[in-house]
Amino acid sequence: MSGSQVTDKIEYHRVVIHDLQDFDHWRDLARQAIQSDISPERISWEENGATGDLFGSVATRLPSPTSNRPVRANKRYMDLARRAFLHSDPRRFGTLYKVLWRLQSEPRLMEDRTDGDIRMMDEWARHVRRDIHKMRAFLRFRVVDEAQGENRFVAWFEPSHHIVRANARFFVERFAAMNWSILTPGGSLLWDGQMLQEGPPARREDAPQGDAAEDLWRSYYASIFNPSRLKIGAMLREMPRKYWKNMPEAALIPDLIAGAQAREARMVTEGAGRVGKRPDTLTGIAEGIAACRDCPIGGLGTCAVMGEGNQNAVLMIVGEQPGDQEEMAGRPFIGPAGQLLNEYLREAGIVREKAYCTNAVKHFKFAQRGKRRIHQTPTAKEVDACRWWLESERALIRPKISVALGASAARSFLGRTVNVARERSQALTLDDGSELWITTHPSYLLRLDGAAKAEQRRAFAHDLSVIAGRIAALCHAV
Amino acid sequence: MVQIPLLERLEILADAAKYDASCASSGSVKRNSVGGKGLGSTDRGMGICHAYAPDGRCISLLKLLLTNHCVFDCHYCINRKSSNVKRARFTPQEVADLTLTFYRRNYIEGLFLSSGIIKDASHTMELLIETARILREDNDFRGYIHLKTIPEAESELVARAGLYADRVSINVELPTDAGLKRLAPDKNRVQIEGAMGDLGRAIVEAKDARKRFRHAPRFAPAGQSTQMIVGADGANDSDIIKRASGLYGTHNLRRVYYSSFSPIPDASAVLPLKRPPLIREHRLYQSDWLMRFYGYNAGEIAQAADDDGNLPLDIDPKLAWALKFRERFPVDVNRSAREDLLRVPGLGVRGVNQIIAARRQRGLRLDDVAKLTVSVTKIRPFICTVDWRPSLLTDRADLRKLLSRPEKQLELFA
């Protein structure tokens, strides 16, 4: 294993290391060399199979130690050396020996992190630690069916340093009840639930090429990624490209990045809503809503229904959206719910013709069932898209009192989700100082039965009578 | 009802979970699967990031929502009641199976489970706990489990969560009361902090019991954490840092996470459309670090902020503080105390430790310091060594400009 030769009376030595993961063996050789008083310049450490040695054929084997004196190495040195030994840098053994040599006369050497050799060792140890950590992180098992119905989990990994054995314990402890193999170009590990064996170097082809769970994992990876916060540098720092080829999810990365910027840009423009000058006549608004395609309801091929009524109204009544009959006639509140509303308005003493009636959403949203068009509730987003038009109407009519019938209408005033039961029967002040009253939509009353029906109808009538009182008070005050 | 296929539900519920910043799998007890019938291990120290997404974030845990149905209507949340997102749900068994499938292939360290509120808080909490129970009891899973607890649930349930989970967390969501009231109308601070307090006490009690009884059950050995959303309300950085510092103090939290509000599809109208610059979140994490490892207190961080109470974006908070308190510098690397060295911008904990070890050997020169740090140019104005005094450099008016990096094109990605 080691050789030595005499040249010009100075003896040079050559030591070949066969097992690159066996630190303890190296330590024994190094101790022997120090006890024989061989200075770092006179010894060449080589990896098994490495070509070209420093001293050519003039080097000789390592002699038996000439003395039995103790070799000094503190714990700091041992900890650092044990890690640095596993590095793939060809200079590692030489440097480790040199530091051990120096330690004999400079006992506090390890504390001097500004020393070149120590920093070198430190850096190697850090690289090795990182490689060990990355192997734990980026290694991926794939399942193979074995005989007797047992699964074996097989992984292919390419470490940068000689760390496989150092990592074995981690995988044993984590996957103790599983059968697994880890294949690497430098050797393999096999675990059968009881015993760990080391195997020969392997090739990528020896490992399975896929696993059924990888589709799930890939879609998880793509979904957990937040496209509005691209930080490619941060990703590359922690997961350099060299690992990608053995990670099933990494194939997605280029597409995810490409799609990300486009996705966020789209999100911001979609959310921005309508901007620009508001129409200054109701006719302008009517033309605007007829052409509006800001939300999908605009694209259903129906006619928009504009509000109608007194342009100087004190009271503005806002419903949810035109229904089937309203859409065909092009007028708000003429279907069954509208008729019920008329009844209650009359009862409360409110003259509908004096008010202005409109809807939160201007187009009819429906689902076709045979010949019938079934009403569909507009989504929050659709209500929000149409808000701009209701605000434009309010800006022209300037009602002192607005009545929102139902949650959709209330949302279009307040821009938030409203719990009608909680917020009804009280005046809310809007930005322009006018009053908003929230109550149920008459179509709700049509759907109810029994006691609930009677109770809700009473509450609705009560709300309208209170509102009528407010109208009277405000008109009187003017 | 037709069931959505598993793959699609995974997409929906992972997508819904991605706004939770935490993915840490660290700080638990040492545990492994040797001698058990299941699998998994955890380490006392750092967790493992099994992958990184292009957003630079670590993927350590399978982060999922049990369901994204929710009866709450928090404006900043994509899963709020009034949002148009597609809804889906998992059964506890499905989540447990997914976790095990992924864990066996070494994709993850464990599970981070949260949920929208279905029916009511306690019912939801029970489902979360049931998932953890299936993993721990039925499958002898010894990996990491992080459960998001729901402050509105019964406290008895929250206590049970801690028996299965390594870490429990409750989000405070917004740094100010006003913000919470406006953006999360269904939540309230008293309830959130009350639940955090309960958890904190349970953790301390369990630790105490372990000291006396070897077999006392562990309770959330990795402690509790929380998350705040940055940039959705008007709170400035000083407010946020003070709140975080208060939380660290009163509830003994392991971590406070800051999540930059990011534009969500189908956003609510009361939210700002654009997110705050990502660098702001980064500055907050830096200040958090300063508080936890560098001996700064919240007041000192606030001193580093500009007049509007926000931390400067072009320089890090440590440098900002040093520029404001120049009379504290230069610091002599050969003589000064550790606390003072830790205040030097550009010197980290590691660098300081190495300087202290090395200076026992001999007087350090500027060259020596350069070897122990990343950039000596950045530190130079704030230190003296055997052969170096910054003399006028520390007092130069344009020092900030000299030290701040040229405006990077971060906004390119904004």
Measured CA to CA, the distance from residue A45 to residue B314 in angstroms comes to 50
Measured CA to CA, the distance from residue A289 to residue A292 in angstroms comes to 5
Total structural domains within chain A: 4
Please report, for residues B30, B166, B203, the alpha-carbon distance to residue B210 in angstroms, rounded to integers and kept in the order given.
15, 15, 11
Nearest to A260 by CA among A237, A231, A235: A231
Chain B CB contacts of A177 below 8 Å:
33, 36-39
Q: How many CB atoms lie within 10 A of CB A430?
A: 14
Determine, yes or no, domain membership for A75.
Answer: yes
Give the dihedral sign, CA B72/B78/B84/B89. negative
| A378 and A292, same domain (yes or no) | yes
Q: How many CB atoms lie within 10 A of CB A385?
A: 23
Determine, yes or no, domain membership for A123.
Answer: no
Measured CA to CA, the distance from residue B408 to residue A231 in angstroms comes to 13
Which residue in the set B12, B36, B101 is minimally distant from A213, CB to CB? B101
| A167 and A111, same domain (yes or no) | no
* A240-271 per-position pLDDT tens digit: 999 999 999 999 998 898 888 776 666 666 55
> Shortest Cα distance from A72 to chain B (angstroms)?
19
Which residue in the set B17, B39, B53 is minimally distant from A174, CB to CB? B39
* A114-136 per-position pLDDT tens digit: 889 999 999 999 999 999 999 99
Which site among B44, B73, B82 would you substitute to test the A interface, given the most A Cβ atoms closer than 10 Å to its Cβ? B82
- Residue B260 forms contact with A (CB below 8 Å): yes
Chain B CB contacts of A120 below 8 Å:
none
SS3 for chain B is CCCCCHHHHHHHHHHHHCCCCCCCCCCCCCECCCCCCCCCCECCCCCCCCEECCCCCEECEEEEECECCCCCCCCCCCCCCCCCCCCCECCHHHHHHHHHHHHHCCCCCEEEEECCCCCCHHHHHHHHHHHHHHHHHHCCCCCEEEEECCCCCCHHHHHHHHHHCCEEECCCECCCHHHHHHHCCCCCHHHHHHHHHHHHHHHHHHHHHHHHCCCCCCCCCCCEEEEEEECCCCCCHHHHHHHHHHHHHHHCCCEEEEEECCCCCCCCCCCCCCCCCHHHHHHHHHHHHHHHHCCCCHHHHHHHCCCCCCCCCCCCHHHHHHHHCHHHCCEECCCCCHHHHCCCCCCCHHHHHHHHHHHCCCCCCHHHHHHHCCCHHHHHHHEEECCECCCCHHHCCCHHHHHCCCCCHHHHHC
Phi-psi region of A213 (alpha: psi -120 to 50; beta: other; left: phi over 0): alpha
| Per-residue confidence (pLDDT) for residue B306, from 0 to 100 | 86
Question: What residue has token string 């209170």?
Answer: A466
| Per-residue confidence (pLDDT) for residue A270, from 0 to 100 | 59
| Per-residue confidence (pLDDT) for residue B411, from 0 to 100 | 41
Which residues are CB-neighbours of B257 under 8 A, at least 6 positions away?
B20, B21, B22, B225, B226, B227, B228
What residues of chain B, 151 to 180, have a C-beta less than 8 Å from chain A?
A: none
Measured CA to CA, the distance from residue B413 to residue B400 in angstroms comes to 26
**ipTM higher than threshold 0.90:** no
What is the identity of the amino acid at B62?
L
> Shortest Cα distance from A2 to chain B (angstroms)?
37
Residue of B nearest to A210 (CA): B105
Q: How many CB atoms lie within 10 A of CB B239?
A: 17
Chain A CB contacts of B52 below 8 Å:
234-235, 238-239
Contact B105 A225 (CB under 8 A): no
Please report, for residues A22, A27, B3, B229, B250, the alpha-carbon distance to residue B199 in angstroms, rounded to integers and kept in the order given.
48, 51, 36, 21, 12
| A94 and A64, same domain (yes or no) | yes
Percentage of chain B modeled with pLDDT above 70: 92
Asked if pLDDT for residue B56 goes beyond 60, the answer is: yes
Residue of B nearest to A419 (CA): B73
Q: Work out the average pLDDT over B330-336.
A: 91
Please report, for residues A12, A362, A442, the alpha-carbon distance to residue A336 in angstroms, rounded to integers and kept in the order given.
108, 18, 9
Determine, yes or no, domain membership for A127.
Answer: no
Percentage of chain A modeled with pLDDT above 70: 91
Structure tokens at A343: 């009844």
| A109 and A197, same domain (yes or no) | no
Which phi and psi angles does A13 have, rounded to 5°?
-125, 150
| A255 and A287, same domain (yes or no) | no
Helix H or strand E encompassing A17: strand A10-17
Contact B413 A271 (CB under 8 A): no
- Among A248, A272, A296, where does a domain finish? A272
| A287 and A406, same domain (yes or no) | yes
Which residue in the set A138, A173, A226 is minimally distant from B33, CB to CB? A173
Determine, yes or no, domain membership for A110.
Answer: yes
Residues linked to residue A372 through DSSP beta bridges, in sequence order: A369
Q: How many CB atoms lie within 10 A of CB A45?
A: 26
- Domain housing A53: 2-117
| Per-residue confidence (pLDDT) for residue B414, from 0 to 100 | 35
| Bond preceding residue B330 cis, omega within 30 of 0 | yes
Chain A CB contacts of B182 below 8 Å:
none
Which stretch of A43-47, B264-268, B362-366 has the lowest confidence by average pLDDT? B264-268
Contact A235 B53 (CB under 8 A): yes
Residue of B nearest to A385 (CA): B269
pLDDT, averaged across chain A: 87
Which stretch of A424-428, B40-44, B165-169, B309-313 has the lowest confidence by average pLDDT? B40-44
Residue of A nearest to B63 (CA): A224
Determine, yes or no, domain membership for A421.
Answer: yes
Contact B33 A111 (CB under 8 A): no
Question: Which one is predicted more confidently, A76 or B410?
Answer: A76
| Per-residue confidence (pLDDT) for residue A182, from 0 to 100 | 96
Nearest to B27 by CA among B240, B280, B221, B271: B221
| A329 and A458, same domain (yes or no) | yes
* A374-408 per-position pLDDT tens digit: 888 888 888 888 888 998 899 899 999 999 999 99
- Residue B293 forms contact with A (CB below 8 Å): no
Q: Work out the average pLDDT over A10-36.
A: 89
Q: Work out the average pLDDT over A401-430.
A: 88
Chain A CB contacts of B267 below 8 Å:
271
Which residue in the set B14, B49, B83 is minimally distant from A224, CB to CB? B14
Query: Do you know the residue count of chain B?
Result: 414
Asked if pLDDT for residue B146 goes beyond 80, the answer is: yes
Chain A CB contacts of B101 below 8 Å:
213, 216
Which residue in the set A111, A229, A268 is minimally distant from B361, CB to CB? A111
> Shortest Cα distance from A318 to chain B (angstroms)?
20
Which stretch of A102-111, A225-234, A266-275, B130-139 has the lowest confidence by average pLDDT? A266-275
Q: Work out the average pLDDT over A79-103.
A: 95
Question: What residue has token string 């992972």?
Answer: B14
Asked if pLDDT for residue B150 goes beyond 60, the answer is: yes
Nearest to A323 by CA among A360, A382, A286, A366: A366
Asked if pLDDT for residue B62 goes beyond 90, the answer is: yes
Residue of B nearest to A112 (CA): B358
Contact A176 B35 (CB under 8 A): yes
Nearest to B298 by CA among B290, B307, B308, B309: B290
- Among A249, A272, A295, where does a domain finish? A272
Domains, in order of start, for chain B: 6-276 (3.20.20.70), 317-413 (no CATH)
| A437 and A323, same domain (yes or no) | yes
- Among A206, A232, A255, where does a domain finish? A206
Range with top average pLDDT, A455-459, B226-230, B404-408: A455-459
| A304 and A263, same domain (yes or no) | no
Which residue in the set B10, B15, B104 is minimally distant from A141, CB to CB? B104
Secondary structure of residue A458 in the 3-state scheme: helix
Burial zone of A370 (CB within 10 Å; 0-12 exposed, 13-18 middle, 19+ buried): exposed
| A268 and A296, same domain (yes or no) | no
Which stretch of B5-9, B21-25, B67-71, B173-177 has the lowest confidence by average pLDDT? B21-25
Give the dihedral sign, CA A349/A354/A359/A363. positive
Contact A113 B354 (CB under 8 A): yes
> Shortest Cα distance from B324 to chain A (angstroms)?
30
Residue of B nearest to A249 (CA): B51
Contact A114 B358 (CB under 8 A): yes
Which residue in the set A215, A235, A250 is minimally distant from B7, CB to CB? A215
Structure tokens at A357: 């009636």
Question: Which one is predicted more confidently, A450 or A154?
Answer: A154
> Shortest Cα distance from B293 to chain A (angstroms)?
22
Chain A CB contacts of B49 below 8 Å:
137, 238
Determine, yes or no, domain membership for A134.
Answer: no
Q: Work out the average pLDDT over B138-156.
A: 89
Measured CA to CA, the distance from residue A231 to residue B18 in angstroms comes to 15
Contact A153 B104 (CB under 8 A): yes
Residue of A nearest to B265 (CA): A267
Determine, yes or no, domain membership for A301.
Answer: yes
Report yes or no: A166 and A150 within 8 Å, Cβ to Cβ: no
| Per-residue confidence (pLDDT) for residue A267, from 0 to 100 | 62
Structure tokens at B81: 């009641």
Determine, yes or no, domain membership for A405.
Answer: yes
| Per-residue confidence (pLDDT) for residue A315, from 0 to 100 | 93
Asked if pLDDT for residue A275 goes beyond 70, the answer is: no
Contact A219 B7 (CB under 8 A): yes
Which residue in the set A111, A220, A415 is minimally distant from B270, CB to CB? A415
What is the identity of the amino acid at A229?
R
Report yes or no: A47 and A17 within 8 Å, Cβ to Cβ: yes
Confidence of residue A2 (pLDDT cuts 50, 70, 90): very low
* B79-98 per-position pLDDT tens digit: 888 777 889 999 999 999 99
| Per-residue confidence (pLDDT) for residue A3, from 0 to 100 | 52
What's the N-to-C CA distance of chain A in angstroms? 111
Nearest to B354 by CA among B333, B339, B375, B340: B333
Contact B361 A213 (CB under 8 A): no
Q: What is the CATH number of the domain that holds A383?
A: 3.40.470.10
Q: Please, how many CA atoms are within 13 Å of residue A74, restricted to the half-sphere of its CB? A: 11
| Per-residue confidence (pLDDT) for residue A269, from 0 to 100 | 61
Q: Work out the average pLDDT over B50-76.
A: 89
* A300-326 per-position pLDDT tens digit: 888 889 999 998 899 999 999 999 899
| A291 and A265, same domain (yes or no) | no
What is the identity of the amino acid at B231?
G
Measured CA to CA, the distance from residue B303 to residue B301 in angstroms comes to 5
Give the count of Cβ contacts less than 8 A between chain A and B. 199
Measured CA to CA, the distance from residue B107 to residue A140 in angstroms comes to 7
Contact A143 B38 (CB under 8 A): no
Contact A178 B39 (CB under 8 A): yes
> Shortest Cα distance from A256 to chain B (angstroms)?
7
pLDDT, averaged across chain B: 85
Contact B17 A224 (CB under 8 A): yes
CA dihedral defined by A161, A165, A171, A176, rounded to 10 degrees? 170
Range with top average pLDDT, A114-128, A292-306, B218-232, B376-390: A114-128
Buried b (16+ CB within 10 A) or exposed e, A245-270: ebbbbbebbeebbeebeeebeebeee
| A265 and A286, same domain (yes or no) | no
Measured CA to CA, the distance from residue A476 to residue B352 in angstroms comes to 79
Query: Do you know the residue count of chain A?
Result: 478
Secondary structure of residue A439 in the 3-state scheme: strand
Which residue in the set B40, B54, B358 is minimally distant from A113, CB to CB? B358
Asked if pLDDT for residue A61 goes beyond 90, the answer is: no
- Residue B360 forms contact with A (CB below 8 Å): yes
Asked if pLDDT for residue B180 goes beyond 50, the answer is: yes
